[in-house]
C-alpha cells in the first residue's frame, strides 16, 4: 500500500515533505485521486483538527478518504459520488472557477446520466447552500447563495443564456493569437486536430511568453459572470481585446479552457439540460421547459425545499414539491413547443385517446410554427427554435391580433403562419413568407392559423386539457378573414371495446372499436384529396407538455408501403461541383446527421434534386463553405474516402438544415451514418430530393443518427391506411368546421355518403390504366425525373397513359413529352429513361424503364426498377 504509506506520512511531516510525498503519489494514482490528496494537504494547512473551525481532524479525513481512494483506483479512476462528497466537504464561501472546472472534469469522466445528476446534487450540498437538494429536505442557511447558484447554473448551461458573443472559432484564434503574440497560422493548424478551439487556446497559453498563466486560480464565478456580460456588450475586437487581456492575467490554463468553452456554449461535459437540472431538483427541468426562466426555477426550488414539511408521506411530498416548483409561463419568454411523432395506423392513433374519450384531429398546415406573446400593446414572436421571428414575416399580421383577441390583454398562442391565397382560400407552400417569395404571390396575404392558447390574462393554461384550452380559444377569438383564423378541427369519438377479464386480472388498454377506424380513414382521404399536408391528432384529455412528442402527426410521406417512414431533416455538411450546365457551381450537396455516440457528423446522402437554378445561384453566396482536399478533411466529419466533397461547411453547428425526402431508406457502404461494429453499411436514402429549407431548426434539432435508426425500423411497417387511401372511391366529403363538434362514428351519420369524384381531364384515355388505383399517398416516384427515349416507336396512347401515371406518382418529366405535359417539365437532370418494351432507341447511361415496369411498381406499391 505505497499510496497509504505516503499519505499517512504526510499527516505528521512538514509542508515541504507533504508536497514531495504527494508528488510521488501523483505519479502513482489518477489525476482525479490526486486532487483528493492535494485537498487533504491543503485542509491540514488550514486546520489541524481544531474543533472550533467546524472541520474534521485531518487523520479522520485521511482514513475515510483513503478507503474510498483505494476503491476508486480499481474502477478506472472514475470519481464516485462519495468521493465527490469528500472533495467538496469544506464550506466554500466564494464559488470559484477552480471548483467549477473540477466539477466539469468529473461530469466528463462519468458515463451515466443519473450519476451526472448526482454529482451536481452533491456539489450543491457541499457548497453549504442546502443539505439535500434532491431529497426535498430543508435549506441550511441560504445566506445569499441564491444568486451564486443561479450563476453556477448559467455557466453550466451556456446555451440557455440570452448572452450572445458572436465569436466563432476563427475569431477567437485571431484574438488570442494577438494576446499571446503567437503565430495565428500555427494556431489554426493546431485547431484542425484539436478537440476544440478551447484546447488549442489552452495549449498556446501554456507556452506563451507574452502572457503567463496564473499559478493558482483566483477567479470567482461572480467575476466570470460579469466578464461574460461585458463581453456580450462588446461588438468589435478593439473592445473585446482589453476585456480578454484583463481576465486572462488571472486565469490558469484550466480556467481559460473552461472560459472559452463557455463562450462557445459547449462545455464538452456530455450532460444536457435535463441531467444538470435534475441535480438541482427532480421537477426543475419540467419547470424550466415551461417557463425558460432559470432564475425563477432556482428561486422556486429554494423556496420549496425550505417550506416542505417532513411529516408528509413520500407521495404527498413529491406532489407538493411538483406543484410548488412549477413556474408556469412568463410573458415574453418563449417555451419549447409541444411536438408530434409520426403515426402510421389508425389503431396507433386511437389508442392515444382515453376509453370512450375523444380525439381531436386538426388540419396540419404547411407553414412556419410561431409562438405569439402579447402583453398589452407589446408583441413578441418566437420560432420553433425559440428565436425571434424576423420582422418581415410577421409585421403584416401583427395589427390584426388585437382584433382577433379584443378581450385579451395578456396572451400566448401557438400558431402556424403562412401565406393564404385570397382567391382560393388555400394556403401556399412552406417558405413563401420571405420577402422575395411573397412578392411572387400578388393575391396572397400573410395569415395566422391559431390552434392553441397557452396563457390568457394572467393565467397559465398549459396544465389544462386541450378540450378546455380550445374552449377558451373559441370563447375569446373573433375571426379576421384572411388574416387570423382558427385551425380546422374535427372531434372523433372513440368507442373502446369492453375490458376483458382473465381470471382475476382485468386487462385494460384494449384496442379501439373497429367502428372508429373508418371515421378517421375517411377524414384522412379527404385531407389528402385536397392536397393538404396532413393531420395532427391530440387526445382531448392531454395537457400541453413543452418539448414532448405526445401528439401524433399523419402526413402523406408516412403512409407508403416500404417507403421512408418520415422525411428527414439533415444538415448540409459539404458540396460538390456540378457538371454540364452546372459546371463550376456547387450543385450536389453532402447531407448528414450528428452522431451523439461518436460526437461526429456522419454522412447520409448526396442530394442534387429539388433545386431551381435561382436557388442554386443563391446558395453559392449564402452557404459558408471552404475548399478542401483529400488530405485535409476536418476531424468533425466522418466521411468515406470515395465521398470526400470539394467543399465543407466552415462550422457544421451553424450549417443550414434541409428537409430531404426520397423513395425509401437504404444501406450503403459509402455512407457512415449508423455504422457500428455489427453493421458494415451506413444508412442512406434512395432517390433523395430537397423538399424545403428548415431555418426554424438548428443542428441539434435536426434528425440525428439515433432517430434515423428508429425511422429505418419504422419504414418496414405497412400503414393500414394504404388501401383505403389509394381508392379514390373511398374519398367522402367532410364539411369543414373550426369550433363545432362533429361526431364521427362508423355509421357515418354526419358524413356525406356520396363519393366526390374529381373532374376527368378532357381527352384523357383511362382504358390503359383503369385497374391501377390513383395514389393519394406520398408519391411513389418522388425525386425521379423521366426523359422519353428518342427515335422510338411508342404507342402514343400508352405513352400518354404512362406519363400521367408517373406525374400522379410524383415524378417529373424532361425533354420532348408533348404539349399536354409542357407545363410539367423539370429543370433537373434526368434520372431515368422511359423506353418502349421493344424497338430501337439511342443508347443512354440513364436507368431504363418500360411502361410495364411503371404499372407493376404502382400495383406493388414499391419501385421494381
C-alpha cell at 390: 424576423
Cβ atoms of 355 and 496 closer than 8 Å? yes
Distance CA 798, CA 8 (A): 95
Please give the sequence-ordered ranges of beta strands (E in DSSP) within 620-770, or none if there are none.
Answer: 625-627, 637-638, 647-649, 657-661, 664-668, 682-686, 689-693
What's the residue count for the chain?
A: 865
Cβ atoms of 596 and 705 closer than 8 Å? yes
Helices 15-28 and 31-46, packing angle to 10 deg: 170
Cβ atoms of 593 and 600 closer than 8 Å? no
Q: Choose, from 254, 300, 352, 364, the residue flagged as catalytic.
A: 364
Helix H segments across 645-770? 705-715, 722-726
C-alpha cell at 732: 367522402
Distance CA 34, CA 23 (A): 9
Helix H segments across 264-404? 273-280, 284-291, 294-307, 314-325, 346-350, 391-394, 401-404
**b (16+ CB within 10 A) / e for 38-69:** ebbbebbeebeeeeeeebbebeebbeebbebb
Phi, psi at 197, each rounded to 5° = -65, -35
How do the residues of the chain divide into helix, strand and coil, expressed in percent and rounded to 5?
40, 20, 45
Distance CA 411, CA 175 (A): 44
Distance CA 861, CA 561 (A): 6
Side-by-side strand order, sheet with 358-364: 339-342, 549-555, 534-539, 358-364, 489-493
Strand pairing category for 568-577 and 549-555 = unpaired
364 is catalytic: yes
Tell me if residue 276 falls in helix, strand or coil.
Answer: helix
Q: Is the four-CA dihedral 60, 61, 63, 67 of positive or negative sign?
A: positive
| Residue located via cell numbers 411530498 | 317
Q: Is the four-CA dihedral 382, 387, 390, 393 of positive or negative sign?
A: negative
C-alpha cell at 302: 429554494
Q: Per DSSP, what are the bridge partners of residue 625?
A: 649
Please give the sequence-ordered ranges of beta strands (E in DSSP) within 327-475, or none if there are none.
Answer: 339-342, 358-364, 368-375, 378-383, 410-421, 426-427, 444-456, 459-460
Q: Is the four-CA dihedral 363, 368, 369, 370 of positive or negative sign?
A: negative
Tell me if residue 269 falls in helix, strand or coil.
Answer: coil
Angle subtended at Cα 176 by Cα 171 and Cα 180, rounded to the nearest 5 degrees: 155
Phi, psi at 689, each rounded to 5° = -150, 135
Strand pairing category for 785-788 and 832-834 = parallel
Distance CA 675, CA 684 (A): 11
Give residue 824's region: left, alpha or beta (phi > 0; psi -120 to 50): alpha
Distance CA 489, CA 735 (A): 11
Distance CA 663, CA 661 (A): 7
C-alpha cell at 767: 382504358
Q: Radius of gyration of the chain from Cα atoms?
A: 32
Distance CA 54, CA 47 (A): 9
Residues serving a catalytic function are 364
Amino acid at each position: 500500500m505505497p499510496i497509504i504509506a505516503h499519505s499517512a506520512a504526510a499527516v505528521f511531516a512538514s509542508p515541504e515533505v507533504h508536497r514531495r510525498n504527494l508528488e510521488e503519489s501523483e505519479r502513482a494514482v489518477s489525476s482525479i485521486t490526486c486532487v483528493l490528496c492535494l485537498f487533504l494537504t491543503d485542509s491540514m494547512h488550514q486546520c489541524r483538527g481544531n474543533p472550533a473551525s467546524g472541520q474534521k481532524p485531518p487523520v479522520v479525513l485521511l482514513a475515510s478518504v483513503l478507503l474510498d481512494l483505494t476503491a476508486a483506483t480499481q474502477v478506472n479512476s472514475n470519481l464516485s459520488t462519495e468521493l465527490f462528497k469528500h472533495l467538496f466537504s469544506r464550506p466554500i464561501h466564494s464559488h470559484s472557477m477552480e471548483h467549477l472546472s473540477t466539477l466539469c472534469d468529473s461530469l466528463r469522466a462519468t458515463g451515466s446520466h443519473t450519476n451526472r445528476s448526482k454529482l451536481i446534487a452533491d456539489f450543491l450540498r457541499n457548497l453549504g447552500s442546502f443539505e439535500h437538494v434532491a431529497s426535498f429536505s430543508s435549506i441550511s442557511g441560504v445566506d445569499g447563495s441564491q444568486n451564486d447558484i443561479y450563476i453556477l447554473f448559467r455557466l453550466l448551461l451556456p446555451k440557455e443564456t440570452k448572452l450572445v458573443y458572436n465569436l466563432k472559432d476563427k475569431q477567437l484564434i485571431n484574438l488570442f493569437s494577438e494576446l499571446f503574440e503567437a503565430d495565428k497560422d500555427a494556431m489554426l493548424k493546431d485547431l484542425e486536430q484539436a478537440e476544440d478551439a478551447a484546447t488549442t487556446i489552452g495549449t498556446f497559453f501554456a507556452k506563451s511568453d507574452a502572457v503567463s498563466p496564473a499559478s493558482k486560480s483566483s477567479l470567482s464565478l461572480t467575476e466570470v459572470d460579469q466578464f461574460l456580460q461585458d463581453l456580450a456588450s462588446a461588438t468589435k475586437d478593439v473592445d473585446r481585446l482589453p476585456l480578454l487581456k484583463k481576465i486572462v492575467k488571472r486565469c490558469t490554463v484550466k480556467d481559460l479552457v473552461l472560459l472559452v468553452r463557455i463562450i462557445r456554449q459547449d462545455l464538452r461535459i456530455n450532460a444536457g439540460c435535463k441531467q444538470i437540472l435534475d441535480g438541482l431538483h427532480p421537477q426543475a427541468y419540467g419547470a424550466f421547459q415551461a417557463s425558460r426562466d432559470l432564475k425563477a426555477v432556482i428561486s422556486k426550488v429554494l423556496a420549496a425545499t425550505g417550506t416542505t414539511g417532513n411529516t408528509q408521506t413520500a407521495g404527498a411530498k413529491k406532489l407538493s414539491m411538483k406543484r410548488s416548483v412549477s413556474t408556469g409561463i412568463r410573458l415574453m419568454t418563449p417555451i419549447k413547443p409541444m411536438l408530434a411523432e409520426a403515426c402510421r395506423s389508425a389503431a396507433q392513433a386511437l389508442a392515444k385517446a382515453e376509453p370512450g374519450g375523444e380525439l381531436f384531429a386538426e388540419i396540419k398546415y404547411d407553414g412556419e410554427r410561431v409562438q405569439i406573446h402579447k402583453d398589452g400593446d407589446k408583441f413578441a414572436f418566437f420560432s420553433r427554435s425559440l428565436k425571434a421571428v424576423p420582422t418581415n414575416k410577421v409585421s403584416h399580421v401583427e395589427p390584426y391580433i388585437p382584433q382577433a383577441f379584443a378581450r385579451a390583454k395578456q396572451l400566448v398562442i401557438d400558431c402556424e403562419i403562412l401565406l393564404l391565397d385570397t382567391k382560393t382560400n388555400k394556403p401556399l407552400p412552406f417558405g413563401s413568407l420571405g420577402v422575395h417569395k411573397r412578392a411572387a404571390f400578388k393575391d396572397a396575404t400573410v395569415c395566422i392559423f391559431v390552434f392553441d392558447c397557452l396563457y390568457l390574462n394572467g393565467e397559465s393554461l398549459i396544465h389544462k386539457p386541450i378540450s378546455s384550452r380550445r374552449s377558451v380559444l373559441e370563447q375569446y377569438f373573433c375571426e379576421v378573414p384572411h388574416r387570423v383564423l382558427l385551425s380546422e378541427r374535427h372531434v372523433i369519438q372513440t368507442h373502446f371495446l369492453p375490458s376483458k377479464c382473465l381470471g382475476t386480472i382485468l386487462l385494460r388498454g384494449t384496442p379501439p372499436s373497429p367502428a372508429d377506424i373508418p371515421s378517421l380513414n375517411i377524414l384522412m382521404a379527404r385531407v389528402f384529396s385536397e392536397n393538404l399536408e396532413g393531420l395532427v391528432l391530440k387526445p382531448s384529455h392531454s395537457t400541453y407538455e413543452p418539448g414532448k412528442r405526445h401528439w401524433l402527426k399523419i402526413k402523406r410521406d408516412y403512409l407508403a408501403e416500404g417507403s421512408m417512414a418520415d422525411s428527414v431533416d439533415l444538415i448540409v455538411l459539404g458540396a460538390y461541383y456540378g457538371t454540364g450546365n452546372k459546371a463550376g457551381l456547387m450543385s450536389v450537396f453532402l447531407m448528414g446527421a450528428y452522431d451523439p455516440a461518436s460526437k461526429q457528423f456522419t454522412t447520409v446522402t448526396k442530394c442534387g434534386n429539388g433545386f431551381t437554378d435561382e436557388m442554386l445561384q443563391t446558395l453559392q453566396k449564402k452557404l459558408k463553405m471552404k475548399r478542401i482536399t483529400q488530405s485535409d478533411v476536418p476531424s468533425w466529419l466522418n466521411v468515406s474516402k470515395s465521398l470526400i466533397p470539394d467543399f465543407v461547411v466552415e462550422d457544421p453547428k451553424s450549417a443550414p438544415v434541409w428537409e430531404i425526402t426520397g423513395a425509401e431508406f437504404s444501406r450503403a457502404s459509402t455512407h457512415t451514418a449508423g455504422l457500428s461494429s455489427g453493421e458494415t453499411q451506413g444508412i442512406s436514402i434512395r432517390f433523395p430530393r430537397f423538399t424545403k429549407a428548415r431555418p426554424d431548426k438548428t443542428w441539434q434539432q435536426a434528425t440525428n443518427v439515433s432517430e434515423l435508426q428508429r425511422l429505418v425500423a419504422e419504414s418496414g411497417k405497412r400503414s393500414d391506411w394504404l388501401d383505403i387511401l389509394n381508392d379514390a372511391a373511398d374519398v367522402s366529403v367532410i364539411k369543414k368546421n373550426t369550433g363545432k363538434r362533429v361526431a364521427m362514428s362508423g355509421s357515418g351519420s354526419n358524413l356525406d355518403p356520396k363519393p366526390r369524384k374529381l373532374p376527368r381531364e378532357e381527352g384523357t384515355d383511362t382504358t390503359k390504366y383503369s385497374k391501377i388505383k390513383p395514389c393519394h399517398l406520398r408519391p411513389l416516384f418522388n425525386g425521379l425525373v423521366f426523359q422519353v427515349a428518342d427515335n422510338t416507336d411508342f404507342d402514343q396512347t400508352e405513352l400518354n397513359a404512362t406519363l400521367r401515371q408517373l406525374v400522379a406518382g410524383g415524378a417529373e418529366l424532361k425533354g420532348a413529352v408533348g404539349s399536354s405535359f409542357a407545363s410539367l417539365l423539370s429543370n433537373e437532370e434526368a434520372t431515368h429513361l422511359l423506353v418502349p418494351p421493344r424497338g430501337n432507341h439511342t443508347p443512354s447511361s440513364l436507368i431504363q424503364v418500360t411502361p410495364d415496369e411503371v404499372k407493376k411498381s404502382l400495383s406493388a406499391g414499391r419501385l421494381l426498377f
